[in-house]
Structure 1
Amino acid sequence: MCISILLPIFNEERYLVECLDSILAQTYPDWELLAVDDQSTDSTPQILQDYQQRDARIRSFRNPQKGVIPALRLALEHSTGALMTRMDADDIMAPAKLELMYKQLVAHGPGHLSTGLVEYFADAQLGQGYARYGEWINKVNREGRQWEEIYRDCPIPAPCWLVYKEDLLRAGAFEPDIKPEDYDLIFRFRRIGLKPLTVPEVLLYWRDHEDRTTRMNEAYDIQKYFRVKLPWFLELDHDPNRELVLWGAGPRGKTFATMLNEAKVKFRWVCDNPKKWGQQIYGVKMEAESKLREFGPMQIIISVASPIDQIAIKALLDELELKAGTDYFWFC
Structure 2
Amino acid sequence: MNRSRASVADAPPLVSVLLPAFNAVRTLKAALNSLFVQEATVGCPLPPFEIIVINDGSTDDSAALLETCASENAAQGRLRVVHLPHGGIVAALNAGLAAARGRFIARMDADDTAHPQRLSLQTAHLWSNPDLTLSASLAAFGGDRTTAYGFAHFVDWQNSLQSPEEISRHRFRDTPVCHPTTMFRREAVDRWGPYADGDFAEDWELWLRWLHKGAVMEKLPQTLLVWNDAPDRATRTDRRYTAESCDRLRALWLARHLTRHNPFHPWVWVIGAGRMARRRLAPLWRLGVRPAGYIDIDAKKIGNVVDGVPVLGRQALPEPGRCRVLNALTAHGAAEEAANWLEQRGYSPTDWILV
| TM-score between both structures, scaled by the size of structure 1 | 0.91
Confirm or deny that 1:307 pairs with 2:307. no
CA deviation vs aligned residue, 1:244-279 (integer Å, no higher than 9, x gap): 112222233222442133112221222333333343
1:68 to 71, 82, 89: 89
Please report how far the alpha carbon of residue 180 of structure 1 lies from its aligned counterpart in structure 2 after TM superposition: 0.4
Q: CA deviation at 1:194?
A: 2.3
Instruction: State which of 9, 30, 35 in structure 1 corresponds to 2:48.
Output: 30
- The aligned length equals 330
Cα shift at 1:165 = 0.7
Q: Which runs of 5+ in 1 are unaligned?
A: none
Question: What residue identity is the alignment partner of 2:36?
Answer: L
Matched residue type, 2:314: E
Match of 1:46 in 2: 64
Alpha-carbon spacing, 1:202–1:20, altered in 2? closer, same or farther (3 Å): same
Aligned to 2:5: none
Checking the alignment, whether the CA contact within 8 Å between 1:171 and 1:185 is kept in structure 2 is no
Aligned to 1:323: 348
Alignment correspondent of 1:15 = 27
Tell me the residue number matched to 2:6: none
**Residue 274 (1) aligns with residue 292 (2):** no
In the TM superposition, residue 166 of structure 1 has moved relative to its aligned partner by 0.9
Instruction: Report what 1:88 is aligned to.
Output: 109
Query: Matched residue of 1:108: which SS?
Result: coil
C-alpha contact 1:170 1:192 (8 A) present in aligned 2: no
Task: Specify the SS of the correspondent of 1:307.
Answer: coil
Q: Distance in 2 between matches of 1:295 and 1:266?
A: 19
Contact 2:139 2:224 in 1 (8 A): yes
User: What amino acid does structure 2 have at the position aligned with 1:195?
Assistant: V
The amino acid that maps onto 2:93 is L
In 2, Cα distance between equivalents of 1:321 and 1:10? 51
Q: Over residues 24-43 of structure 1, what are the superposed CA-to-partner deviations in whole Å (9 max), with x where a residue is unaligned?
A: 11113511112111222222
Report the more deviating stretch, 64-73 or 92-101. 64-73
Alpha-carbon deviations, 1:63-119, whole Å to 9, x = none?
235111011111111111111121111111100001000011011225532111111
5+ residue gaps, structure 2: 1-12, 40-45
Among 192, 196, 219, the residue aligned to 1:198: 219
**Structure 1 residues 308 and 194, CA gap change in structure 2 (3 angstroms):** closer
Which residue of structure 1 aligns with residue 282 of structure 2?
258
Equivalent-residue separation in structure 2 for 1:298 and 1:143 (angstroms):
25
Shift in alpha-carbon separation, 1:195–1:294, aligned structure 2, 3 A: closer
- What's the TM-score once normalised by structure 2's chain length? 0.85
- Relative distance call for 1:240 and 1:195 in structure 2 (3 A) is closer
> In the alignment, is the contact (CA less than 8 A) between 1:293 and 1:320 conserved in 2?
no
Answer whether contact 2:277 2:330 (CA < 8 A) is retained: no
Counterpart Cα distance in 2 of 1:159 and 1:286: 41
